[in-house]
Structure 1
Amino acid sequence: MTSVALAVHDGTMLFETAAACEVFGVDRGITGRWYDFKVCAARDTAAARVGGWLRIDAPHGLDALAAADTVIVPSCSDVDAAPPADLLEAVRTAHARGARIVSLCTGAFVLAAAGVLDGRRATTHWAHTEDLAVRHPRVEVEPDVLYVEDGNVLTSAGKAAGMDLCLHLVGADHGAAVAAELARRLLVPARRAGGQAQYVAAPTSAETADAFADLLAWAGARLDEPLTVPDLARRMNMSTRTLSRRFTATTGTTPLRWLHTQRIHRAQELLETTDDSVELVAARTGMGTATTLRRHFHNALGVPPDTYRRTFRNAVRSTEAP
């Protein structure tokens, strides 16, 4: 069982704290094993103020945080305030042990202050990405994504993107089908297309956004076909250049990258939930050949399809047991 420790301190924000608790702290019986979840704070903190008004008692100290397999640091309300020194030390200790270190929203400022993000790619809420880059020039800030995974250090953009990252972690630990079922229970999408650029100052009309929603649904139902960007452009009665520009402005990603990501996700689901051969999975995801699927799948996930299936097939079967 993987241990997950959530850090709380004065100034921790409520939404991200609650998201982590809902995902990792509640065993909904979706799979046979879940997380050993602990909420941690400095022992000399009688009660941490979360969200600026809710006071909570953390049953575990920062020693438990330093010893956890996964450490989660949610957002802080004041990015100008120096993070608690004992929290920084606990994060450094966990990182030195090889633990997975995660920040949600402005929690990235804590990780940066601890030196964990030096030389790594990271993100935070779009309103603070420039500030993070200026204060911590050794961090490669990616402002337009929902979350970033750089080795065993992961950071998310603001608010709901923290839930996106938490579900991504569940998928990495238990497989895409388990993450999708958890998302269904929580009434949130298992994966959102695009990055946080789509939430900054929407330059497109509601009608344009709705039109692209229709296009995404149409393309998502045809991933077994050899769809191309020109196919999408014809569907929208646009030139490929116009489609690419408007699609990226609306979704935060390019049409080609979106298609590729959806095909990888569909391949994950088929490998987990069916006995289809790799050749058939390649055909059903529009990858063409097993060789092409294996190359793209390995590039995206770091493992070949057969290894992925062996890792997550049992987790999926446990969700289907009575």
Structure 2
Amino acid sequence: MSDQSADTPFAAKPTGAGPPADAALLGPVRAEKPRGLLGDAWRDLRRRPLFWVSAILIAGFVLMAAFPSLFTSGDPVNGVVSRNFGTPSSHAWFGYDVQGRDVYARVIYGARASIVVALLSTAGTLLIGGAMGMIAGYLGGWVDALLSRFADVFFGLPFVLGAIVILSTFNGAGASNSEWRIMGLVIMSLVVLIWPVVMRLMRSSVLSTREADYVVAARALGASTGRIVLKHLLPNCLAPLLVYGTILVGSFIGVEATLSFLGIGLKTPVVSWGIMISESQDYIRASPFLLFFPAMFLVTAVLSFVMLGEAIREALDPKLR
């Protein structure tokens, strides 16, 4: 008698013969590694068109500042007087200024001073203000009171007046017009006047985080102060600083242009958008393109960093997702 169980459609399958067919098709199941705050933010940012538009524009400006020769072969400093006020053409896309210099080349090279000043000023402001805020918020007591009162002194200084005093004092008549010296003075003035804002932002974040359960547990387990600050407080307090720092870069680009326009910031022979706008104000009716092109690049750069900061803020804030 032959065995008919193999031909029977309802025959029981032997146990232990292997994984089910569906499992074999799906493959091995792997547990997804949990993401942190920054991981979730990055996943959300990749889905936002605003982030990619601003990031591409910023990458273009940074590349322009680092390698201006990739965008133009013109001379931004020397010109030919006979071609002054030349209108935009195929030879000079943005025309020529009062001294016969190529406006397009000056706009490209002007990105370097504006971007460098903004990035270094932001880095110095975040480092000094963040360190002061971390110390004041974590230690508290008389240290917090002393640092807070010290910051209040700088809060009482109007920004424009403070910048005029600092830059006029160190960059008066007879001072060297070296490009890096002038840029260093502008960076110093921006850092000195803005760091208290970052300090208060970091201090408030630390005050709201230092009593969290994971910080209290780490302190009870005998973790050192450095480990608590670096492993627990700093990663959880960086979000507001990251957002503010991104917006601050755009703000500093505008501030540098404002100070240069007023004649107390960067000066010739430095090439910057603010200097170009300042030099074009007397010829705005006859040659409006001298003002339009550097102002267009300036506004686009500022808006790019502001848009990036807004996208990061929305990604880091769970309530806005």
Q: TM-score, normalised by structure 1?
A: 0.24
Q: Going by fraction, where is helix more abundant, 1 or 2?
A: 2
Q: Going by fraction, where is strand more abundant, 1 or 2?
A: 1
Greater relative contact order (Cα 8 A, min sep 6): structure 1 or 2? 2
Q: TM-score, normalised by structure 2?
A: 0.24
* Structure (1 or 2) with the larger CA radius of gyration: 2
